[in-house]
Amino acid sequence: MSIKTAIFGASGYTGQELIRILSAHPQVELVAATSRRYAGVPVAEVFPSLQGRTSLAYVNASPEEIASGCDVVFLALPHGVSMEIAPVFVRAGRKVIDLSADYRLRDLATYEKWYAKHTSADLIGRAVYGIPELYRNEIKNARLIANPGCYPTSIILGLAPALKNNLLDVSTIIADSASGVSGAGRDPVVGSLFCEVDGGFKAYKVGKHRHTPEIEQELNRLAGEPFAVTFTPHLLPVKRGILSTIYATLKKDIRPAELAELYADAYAGEKFVRICPAGATPNISSVCGSNSCDIGVVCDPRTNRVIIVSAIDNLVKGAAGQAVQNMNLIAGLAEDCGLAAPPLYP
Amino acid sequence: MSIKTAIFGASGYTGQELIRILSAHPQVELVAATSRRYAGVPVAEVFPSLQGRTSLAYVNASPEEIASGCDVVFLALPHGVSMEIAPVFVRAGRKVIDLSADYRLRDLATYEKWYAKHTSADLIGRAVYGIPELYRNEIKNARLIANPGCYPTSIILGLAPALKNNLLDVSTIIADSASGVSGAGRDPVVGSLFCEVDGGFKAYKVGKHRHTPEIEQELNRLAGEPFAVTFTPHLLPVKRGILSTIYATLKKDIRPAELAELYADAYAGEKFVRICPAGATPNISSVCGSNSCDIGVVCDPRTNRVIIVSAIDNLVKGAAGQAVQNMNLIAGLAEDCGLAAPPLYP
Amino acid sequence: MSIKTAIFGASGYTGQELIRILSAHPQVELVAATSRRYAGVPVAEVFPSLQGRTSLAYVNASPEEIASGCDVVFLALPHGVSMEIAPVFVRAGRKVIDLSADYRLRDLATYEKWYAKHTSADLIGRAVYGIPELYRNEIKNARLIANPGCYPTSIILGLAPALKNNLLDVSTIIADSASGVSGAGRDPVVGSLFCEVDGGFKAYKVGKHRHTPEIEQELNRLAGEPFAVTFTPHLLPVKRGILSTIYATLKKDIRPAELAELYADAYAGEKFVRICPAGATPNISSVCGSNSCDIGVVCDPRTNRVIIVSAIDNLVKGAAGQAVQNMNLIAGLAEDCGLAAPPLYP
Amino acid sequence: MSIKTAIFGASGYTGQELIRILSAHPQVELVAATSRRYAGVPVAEVFPSLQGRTSLAYVNASPEEIASGCDVVFLALPHGVSMEIAPVFVRAGRKVIDLSADYRLRDLATYEKWYAKHTSADLIGRAVYGIPELYRNEIKNARLIANPGCYPTSIILGLAPALKNNLLDVSTIIADSASGVSGAGRDPVVGSLFCEVDGGFKAYKVGKHRHTPEIEQELNRLAGEPFAVTFTPHLLPVKRGILSTIYATLKKDIRPAELAELYADAYAGEKFVRICPAGATPNISSVCGSNSCDIGVVCDPRTNRVIIVSAIDNLVKGAAGQAVQNMNLIAGLAEDCGLAAPPLYP
CA distance B97 to chain A (A): 22
Q: Name the band, by pLDDT with cuts 50, 70 and 90, for residue B253.
A: confident
**C237 & C298 share domain:** yes
| Catalytic hit among A70, A150, A276, A299 | A150
Q: How many CB pairs under 8 A join B and C?
A: 148
Cross-chain CB nearest to C195 (options A196, A199, A239): A239
Tell me whether residue D319 is in a domain: no
pLDDT > 90? residue C40: yes
Q: Do A195 and C181 touch (CB under 8 A)?
A: yes
Phi, psi of A84 (to 5 degrees): -85, -25
Cross-chain CB nearest to B195 (options D182, D189, D199): D182
Residues on chain A touching C186 (C-beta within 8 angstroms): 190, 193, 195
Residues on chain B touching A341 (C-beta within 8 angstroms): 24, 341
Q: Tell me the CA distances in angstroms from C169 to A262, B220, B257, C173, C254, one per residue in order.
A: 74, 25, 31, 8, 13
Q: Tell me the CA distances in angstroms from B230 to B170, B208, B245, B275, C283, one per residue in order.
A: 11, 10, 12, 24, 20
Residues on chain C touching B236 (C-beta within 8 angstroms): 201, 236-237
Q: Do C238 and B196 touch (CB under 8 A)?
A: no
**C170 & C47 share domain:** no
Q: Do D238 and B182 touch (CB under 8 A)?
A: no
Give the CATH number of the domain where residue C245 resides.
Answer: 3.30.360.10
Q: Which of A344, A316, A318, A272 is nearest to A21 (CA)?
A: A316
Residues on chain B touching C234 (C-beta within 8 angstroms): 178, 243, 245
CA distance B107 to chain C (A): 18
Q: Quick one: closest CA in A to C48, which residue?
A: A196
Q: Do A237 and C198 touch (CB under 8 A)?
A: yes
**A77 & A222 share domain:** no
Peptide bond into D346 cis (omega under 30): yes
**B122 & B235 share domain:** no
Q: Name the band, by pLDDT with cuts 50, 70 and 90, for residue A1.
A: low
Q: Name the band, by pLDDT with cuts 50, 70 and 90, for residue C252.
A: confident
Cross-chain CB nearest to B274 (options A51, A182, A277): A51
Mean pLDDT of A270-299: 97
**A116 & A174 share domain:** no
pLDDT per residue as tens digits for the range C185-228: 999 999 999 999 999 999 999 999 999 999 999 999 999 999 99
| A135/C253: higher pLDDT | A135
Q: Do A52 and B292 touch (CB under 8 A)?
A: yes
DSSP A208: T
Give residue ranges of A with CB < 8 Å to any B CB.
Answer: 13, 16, 20, 23-24, 45, 47-53, 182, 199, 239-240, 271, 274, 276-277, 280, 282-283, 285-290, 292, 294, 340-346
Tell me whether residue B146 is in a domain: no
> So which residues of C are the catalytic ones?
150
**D179 & D305 share domain:** yes
pLDDT > 90? residue C253: no
Q: Which pLDDT value is given to residue A253?
A: 86
Mean pLDDT of B292-305: 97
- Nearest-angstrom CA–CA distance, B124 and B109: 12
Mean pLDDT of B178-195: 98
* Cβ–Cβ under 8 Å, residues B27 and B338: yes
Q: Is B78 exposed, middle or buried (0-12, 13-18, 19+ CB in 10 A)?
A: middle
* Cβ–Cβ under 8 Å, residues A303 and A255: no
CA distance D232 to chain A (A): 9
Q: Do B346 and C299 touch (CB under 8 A)?
A: no
Concatenating the DSSP letter of every residue in C78-104 gives -TTTHHHHHHHHHHTT-EEEE-SSTTT
pLDDT > 90? residue B252: no
Q: Which pLDDT value is given to residue C1?
A: 65
Tell me whether residue C331 is in a domain: no
CA distance D287 to chain C (A): 6
Fill in the amino acid letter for A123: L
pLDDT per residue as tens digits for the range C267-297: 999 999 999 999 999 999 999 999 999 999 9
CA distance C45 to chain A (A): 14
Mean pLDDT of B228-234: 98
**C155 & C188 share domain:** yes
Residues on chain D touching B182 (C-beta within 8 angstroms): 195
Task: Give this prediction's pTM.
Answer: 0.98
**D32 & D168 share domain:** no
Q: Quick one: closest CA in D to C344, which residue?
A: D289
pLDDT per residue as tens digits for the range D71-126: 999 999 999 999 999 999 999 999 999 999 999 999 999 999 999 999 999 999 99
Q: Do B345 and A16 touch (CB under 8 A)?
A: yes
pLDDT > 90? residue A130: yes
Question: So what's the ipTM on this one?
Answer: 0.98
pLDDT per residue as tens digits for the range C224-242: 999 999 999 999 999 999 9
Residues on chain B touching C298 (C-beta within 8 angstroms): 206-207
Interface test with A, best of D173, D193, D303, D308 (most A CBs within 10 A): D303
CA distance A168 to chain D (A): 15
Residues on chain C touching A13 (C-beta within 8 angstroms): 195
Mean pLDDT score across all residues of chain C: 97
- Nearest-angstrom CA–CA distance, B269 and B88: 37
Residues on chain C touching D15 (C-beta within 8 angstroms): none
Mean pLDDT score across all residues of chain A: 97
Point out the domain boundary residue: C109, C126, C143.
C126
Give residue ranges of B with CB < 8 Å to any C CB.
Answer: 172, 174, 176, 178, 195-196, 198-204, 206-207, 228-230, 232, 234, 236-241, 243, 245, 247, 281-285, 288, 298-300, 302-303, 305, 307, 309, 311, 346
Q: Which pLDDT value is given to residue A318?
A: 98
Q: How many CB pairs under 8 A join A and C?
A: 57
Tell me whether residue A229 is in a domain: yes
Q: Tell me the CA distances in angstroms from C346 to A67, A154, C37, C308, one per residue in order.
A: 55, 33, 34, 24
Tell me whether residue B204 is in a domain: yes
Give the CATH number of the domain where residue C25 resides.
Answer: 3.40.50.720
pLDDT > 70? residue B1: no
- Nearest-angstrom CA–CA distance, A260 and A309: 13
**B223 & B178 share domain:** yes
> So which residues of D are the catalytic ones?
150
- Nearest-angstrom CA–CA distance, A82 and A103: 9
pLDDT > 80? residue C100: yes
Residues on chain A touching C195 (C-beta within 8 angstroms): 13, 181-182, 186, 192, 239
**A281 & A224 share domain:** yes
Residues on chain B touching A13 (C-beta within 8 angstroms): 346
- Nearest-angstrom CA–CA distance, D338 and D24: 6
Fill in the amino acid letter for D98: D
Tell me whether residue C344 is in a domain: no
Q: How many CB pairs under 8 A join B and D?
A: 58
Phi, psi of B42 (to 5 degrees): -60, 140
Q: Which pLDDT value is given to residue C174?
A: 98
User: Which domain, by its residues, includes B64?
Assistant: 3-126
Tell me whether residue C289 is in a domain: yes
Q: Which pLDDT value is given to residue B14?
A: 98
Q: Quick one: closest CA in A to C184, which residue?
A: A195
- Nearest-angstrom CA–CA distance, D18 and D13: 9
Q: Is C205 exposed, middle or buried (0-12, 13-18, 19+ CB in 10 A)?
A: middle
pLDDT per residue as tens digits for the range B107-121: 999 999 999 999 999
Looking at the 3D structure of chain D, how many domains does it have? 2
Mean pLDDT of D188-204: 98
- Nearest-angstrom CA–CA distance, A65 and A62: 5
CA distance C193 to chain D (A): 14
Tell me whether residue A235 is in a domain: yes
Q: Which of A334, A335, A312 is nearest to A325 (CA)?
A: A335
Q: Do B194 and D190 touch (CB under 8 A)?
A: no
Mean pLDDT score across all residues of chain D: 97
Q: Which pLDDT value is given to residue B251?
A: 94
Give residue ranges of A with CB < 8 Å to any D CB.
Answer: 172, 174, 176, 178, 195-196, 198-204, 206-207, 228-230, 232, 234, 236-241, 243, 245, 247, 281-285, 288, 298-300, 302-303, 305, 307, 309, 311, 346
Pairing of strands B305-312, B242-250: antiparallel
**D172 & D297 share domain:** yes
pLDDT per residue as tens digits for the range D204-217: 999 999 999 999 99
pLDDT > 90? residue A259: yes
**C178 & C94 share domain:** no
> So which residues of B are the catalytic ones?
150
DSSP B329: H
